[in-house]
Amino acid sequence: MDKKVKNNFANLSLLLISIIFSVFVAEIGLRIVLPKITDESFSIKKGDKLLIPDNEISHILHPSEEFGIDYNGFKNNSVLDKYDIVAMGDSHTYGMLNGVSWVDSLEEKTQKDIYNMGVWGYGFAQYYHLIDKALSFNPKLVIIGLFMGNDIYDAYNVVYGYDGWSEFRSDKFDNSKLISVADHGKQDVLFSSLRLFIRDNSVLYKFTSDRTRIFREKLGLAKPYYIGTDDWTNIDTGASLIYDDEKSIKTFFRNGERVKGVDLEDKNTIEGLRLTKLFLSRINKKVKDADSELLVVFIPTKQSVYFDKIGQKGEDNFLFSKIVKNEKNIKNDLSDFATEENFYVVDILPSLQESVNSGVRLYPDSIDDHPNIDGYRKYSEAIESIVMSLIERNN
């Protein structure tokens, strides 16, 4: 090997070592400082400040005075010995990180003591696991907020993702690879499995990808997830659609994630629906044995709330219309099941649709599927009358 080649090889090796060392230093450095950067955010991912991994129910919340998490791990300012109502659910029941929830609003409207057991990322396996705790407060009414967008699929994810739930699995079900609803829209990305692994394990990758994502989307180097697209013929699961015909209710739709959660052509969703009914039946029996009543609140996807308002564009988009159609079918199925099992359901979709059709903003101008303050208040308004009726009936 001549001297020039040796020098080039040495320089290249030095450059490679420098890059690897720099990446290593950056990774270590960001692991030290990143919590200071992300304190104001909240999502259910590894390393979150409030999140404690749990081998049975995925995760629980760390008691925190700062975030209003009580010693039981639920979002309440204090804990009483007895409550009129216990509310269970996912993030739609938990509410805003340091703000209002429909539970708070309902408590104010009804003047009843309500204990909020809503936790981000929960579904019916977790609700069944926690029902004895809920009933320990001797409530007259147990309310479960069923978010149509992912609660059905979440039941499948927990039962087939954690060994402690094996007794609930079906021998006839051929389990496929577990993919969370949130990651569904990312599955058609090049080298998606490798990228998801690196994202979950590298702070540096997450830091650079998250903070350059919008810039890359604007350059056309990434799918329009955060900035969205107004091309309603787009059925890419990695893209978000924009509705901005009326600026007062402009918002974005994450169809890739939502279609997974209600896809009745997906055997995992079908299995999740079977499990949801199984858990509902067992929960209802426990509630009845405790001389209480069960009310399930159907919390719709943003797609269903906007469907009538958007009109033909929504009907013509395959993913958007599929979400709305399957959601309606699941809701009808569960309503029939509620009649068979003798528990109560209430659908808040008509109330939310009426508000949106009148130009009332219920959701943020972003991809967030959770409502704003007015949206959470509308949740509570839509169920107030049936809640009061059931409480009075059980007095």
Same domain, 96 and 32: no
Which residue has tokens 């450059």? 15
Same domain, 156 and 71: yes
Question: Would you state the pLDDT for residue 240?
Answer: 95
Pair 5, 106 in one domain: no
Query: 329 and 383: one domain?
Result: yes
Are the C-beta atoms of residues 292 and 87 closer than 8 Å to each other?
no
Mean pLDDT computed over 124-152: 97
Cα distance between residue 394 and residue 112, in whole Å? 14
Q: Taking Cα atoms as reference points, which of 213, 303, 216 lies closest to residue 251?
A: 303
The pLDDT, as a whole number, for residue 192 is: 53
Residue 204 lies in a domain: no
The CA distance from 262 to 334, in Å, is 13
More confident residue, 197 or 127: 127
Is the model's pLDDT at 145 over the cut of 70?
yes
pLDDT of residue 84: 97
- Examine the pLDDT at 225 and tell me if it is beyond 50: yes
Please write the tens of the pLDDT for every residue from 227-264.
899 999 999 999 999 999 999 999 999 999 899 999 99
Say which residues have a Cβ less than 8 Å from residue 12's Cβ, sequence separation at least 6.
none
Same domain, 270 and 319: yes
**Is the pLDDT score of 117 beyond 60?**
yes
Q: In the Cβ-directed half-sphere of 247, how many Cα atoms lie within 13 Å? A: 0
Q: What is the pLDDT of residue 199?
A: 55
In a domain, 152, yes or no: yes
The whole domain housing 4 covers 1-38
Q: What's this model's pTM, rounded to 2 decimal places?
A: 0.83
* pLDDT attached to residue 207: 53
Range 115-133 average pLDDT: 97
| Residues above pLDDT 90, as percent of the chain | 66
What is the domain count for the chain?
2
Residue 185: pLDDT band by 50, 70, 90 thresholds?
A: very low
Helix 318-341 / helix 255-262 crossing angle, nearest 10 deg: 30
- Under the banding of pLDDT at 50, 70 and 90, the label for residue 178 is low
Please give the average per-residue pLDDT across 12-26, as a whole number. 65
Mean pLDDT along residues 304-318: 96
Mean pLDDT value across residues 132-155: 97
Amino acid at 170: S
* Alpha carbon distance 288, 278 (integer Å): 16
- Give the tens place of pLDDT for each residue, 26-81: 556 645 554 443 333 334 444 456 788 888 999 999 998 888 999 999 999 999 99
Query: Is the same domain home to 275 and 153?
Result: yes
Q: Which pLDDT value is given to residue 227?
A: 87
pLDDT for the residue 363: 96
| Mean pLDDT, residues 146-169 | 94
> Do residues 127 and 33 both lie within one domain?
no
What does the pLDDT average to over 198-216?
61
The pLDDT of residue 43 is 40
- Residue 66's pLDDT is 83
Sign, CA dihedral 127-131-136-138, equals positive
Same domain, 33 and 169: no
Q: At what angle do helices 373-393 and 102-110 cross, to 10 degrees?
A: 50
**Would 234 be classed as within a structural domain?**
yes
Between 32-46, 118-132, 140-154, 215-229, the lowest mean confidence (pLDDT) is in: 32-46
Residue 29 lies in a domain: yes
Domain for residue 153, yes or no? yes
The answer on 116 and 28 residing in a single domain is: no
Name residue, tokens 């890059």: 19
* Spatial separation of the C-alpha atoms in residues 227 and 230, rounded to whole Å: 10
CATH number for the domain spanning 159: value is 3.40.50.1110
Taking all residues of the chain, what is their mean pLDDT, rounded to a whole number? 86
Q: Is the pLDDT of residue 294 over 80?
A: yes
Percent of the chain at pLDDT exceeding 70:
79
Q: Are residues 16 and 93 located together in one domain of the fold?
A: no
Q: Does 120 lie in the same domain as 6?
A: no
Domain membership of residue 386 (yes or no) is: yes
**What is the spatial distance between Cα 273 and Cα 124, in angstroms, rounded to a whole number?**
10
Q: How far is CA 182 from the centre of its chain?
A: 8
Ramachandran quadrant class, 95 (left: phi over 0; alpha: psi -120 to 50; beta: rest) = left
pLDDT of residue 10: 60
Does residue 166 share a domain with residue 18? Answer: no
- With bands split at pLDDT 50, 70 and 90, how would you rate the model's confidence at 194? low
* φ, ψ (nearest 5 deg) of residue 51: -95, 130
- The answer as to whether 101 is a domain residue is yes
Per the domain annotation, does 199 fall within a domain? Answer: no
In SS3 terms, the chain reads as CCHHHHHHHHHHHHHHHHHHHHHHHHHHHHHHHHHHHHCCCCCCCCCCCCEEEECCCEEEECCECCCCECCCCCECCCCCCCCCEEEEECHHHHCCCCCCCHHHHHHHHHCCCEEEEECCCCCHHHHHHHHHHHHCCCCCEEEEEEECCCHHHHHHHHHHHCHHHHHHCCCCCCCCCCCCHHHHCCCCCCCHHHHHHHHHHCHHHHHHHHHHHHHHHHCCCCCCCCCCECCCCCCCCCCCEEECCCHHHCEEECHHHHHHHHCCCCHHHHHHHHHHHHHHHHHHHHHHHCCCEEEEEEECCHHHHHHHHHCHHHHHCHHHHHHHHHHHHHHHHHHHHHHHHCCEEEECHHHHHHHHHCCCCCCCCCCCCCCCHHHHHHHHHHHHHHHHHHHHHCC
| Backbone φ, ψ for residue 243 (5° rounding) | -110, 115
